């Protein structure tokens, strides 16, 4: 029993150390400047099954939010995203939702809340995409902020508040 406790403690400490190292590496990259993402060509269907490309919003500040209908923090953020989209759309800001589940679940959710920004359906592909964009802890929600030149300037695992979003985007407005 004691050996199992020691083993669990060792594995937990190792995982914590790896997580801190990876987060430190990400923060260092972000502090050194924007990270160029030349392959930000994301093509996914929307809820009507129409193929959409992230490049449709090139030249705007893009806030790409990976979310799911089964995720309470994700659902808590959405009403604030709707308000911010209304307030900042004339300042070249564009929210884009990327659901990590199937079209029907998202379509059912959208019947309960009218969303004023594009909602793309990514399924399992969206999980891999969020990892490629820096979601090293597989967090949901996970949000990527992209500047007008197509560079990631901030990544945020977990729930975002209105204040934090405004703090992040203000330097680019």
Rounded mean pLDDT, 91-111: 94
Q: How confident is the model at residue 166 (pLDDT cuts 50, 70, 90)?
A: very high
Q: How confident is the model at residue 1 (pLDDT cuts 50, 70, 90)?
A: low
Q: What is the pLDDT of residues 119-158, one digit of tens each?
A: 999 988 899 899 988 898 888 999 999 999 989 999 999 9
Kindly give, in sequence order, each residue whose CB lies less than 8 Å from that of residue 161, ignoring residues fewer than 6 positions away.
80
CA 169 to chain centroid, in Å, comes to: 15
Name the token pair of 106: 């998202």
Kindly give, in sequence order, each residue whose CB lies less than 8 Å from that of residue 97, ignoring residues fewer than 6 positions away.
65, 67, 78, 81, 115, 117, 118, 119, 120
Quick check: 34 pLDDT over 60?
no
Name the token pair of 155: 């990544």
pLDDT at residue 39, rounded to an integer: 45
**168 against 4, higher pLDDT:** 168
Quick check: 28 pLDDT over 60?
no
pTM exceeds 0.85, yes or no: no
């Amino acid at each position: 029993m004691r050996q199992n406790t020691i083993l669990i403690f060792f594995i937990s400490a190792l995982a914590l150390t790896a997580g801190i190292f990876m987060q430190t590496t990400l923060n260092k990259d972000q502090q050194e400047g924007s990270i160029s993402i030349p392959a930000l060509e994301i093509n996914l269907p929307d809820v009507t099954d129409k193929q959409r490309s992230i490049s449709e919003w090139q030249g705007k500040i893009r806030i790409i939010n990976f979310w799911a209908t089964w995720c309470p923090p994700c659902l808590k953020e959405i009403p604030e995203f709707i308000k911010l989209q209304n307030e900042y759309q004339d300042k070249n800001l564009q929210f884009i939702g990327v659901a990590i589940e199937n079209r029907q679940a998202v379509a059912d959710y959208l019947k309960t809340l009218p969303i004023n920004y594009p909602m793309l359906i990514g399924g399992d592909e969206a999980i891999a995409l969020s990892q490629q964009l820096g979601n090293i802890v597989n967090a949901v929600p996970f949000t990527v902020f992209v500047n007008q030149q197509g560079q990631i300037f901030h990544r945020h695992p977990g729930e975002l508040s209105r204040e934090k979003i405004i703090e992040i985007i203000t330097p680019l407005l």
